[in-house]
């Protein structure tokens, strides 16, 4: 055997193991959440999510932006409450898109990033907003879209998103 080929083969194998380890670490503990996509959220469903989320925001006196997207991350419905900071418009849509495209709450990516090390690779994923407040919308066991909220703390954004997502259950 040629030692160079063996060495190169070991390096290649180590590279594949590292990629597999990254993938597993990105989504550790979320396998039960990774569901199939179904039909896209309808406008009526999106309005139901928005109404429930906005009701929670009013109850808590939160000025937030609320976005509902389809499974491809395309905007279906949106509301920006009065006096919500302008930056929250794009952040809410980004959180929703992240949850839809990656089939998990945006908090899962926030937690992976917070681990540092290999978790920092989350920053290289296309279109990811690794901040709590984006949740997949699940109907009949399949993902039909996602909701994203921005405007207050991430935990408070998540509270509003949870109220919206629960309206479809």
69 forms beta bridges with 75, 146
Domain ranges of the chain: 32-166
pLDDT in tens, 35-51: 899 999 999 999 999 99
pTM here is: 0.81
Q: Out of 32-36, 70-74, 90-94, which region has the weakest mean confidence (pLDDT)? A: 32-36
Confidence of residue 169 (pLDDT cuts 50, 70, 90): confident
Q: Rounded to an integer, what distance in angstroms lies between the CA atom of residue 45 and that of residue 42?
A: 5
pLDDT in tens, 79-107: 999 999 999 999 999 999 999 999 999 99
- Do residues 48 and 167 lie in contact, with contact meaning Cβ atoms separated by under 8 Å? yes
Q: Rounded to an integer, what distance in angstroms lies between the CA atom of residue 56 and that of residue 123?
A: 31
Mean pLDDT (the chain, rounded): 86
The domain over range 32-166 is classified in CATH as 1.10.357.10? no
């Amino acid at each position: 055997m040629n030692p160079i080929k063996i060495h190169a083969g070991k390096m290649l194998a180590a590279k594949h193991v590292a990629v597999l380890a990254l993938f597993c670490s990105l989504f550790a503990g979320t396998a039960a959440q990774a569901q199939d996509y179904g039909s896209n959220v309808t406008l009526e469903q999106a309005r139901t999510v928005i109404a429930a989320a906005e009701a929670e925001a009013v109850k808590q006196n939160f000025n937030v932006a609320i976005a509902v997207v389809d499974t491809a991350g395309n905007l279906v419905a949106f509301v920006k409450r009065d006096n919500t900071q302008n930056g929250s418009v794009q952040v809410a849509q980004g959180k929703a898109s992240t949850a839809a495209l990656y089939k998990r709450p945006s908090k899962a990516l926030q937690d992976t990033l917070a681990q540092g090390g290999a978790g920092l690779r989350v920053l290289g994923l296309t279109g990811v907003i690794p901040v709590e407040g984006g949740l997949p919308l699940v109907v009949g066991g399949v993902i039909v879209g996602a909701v994203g909220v921005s405007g207050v703390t991430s935990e408070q954004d998540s509270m509003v998103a949870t109220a919206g997502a629960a309206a479809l259950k």
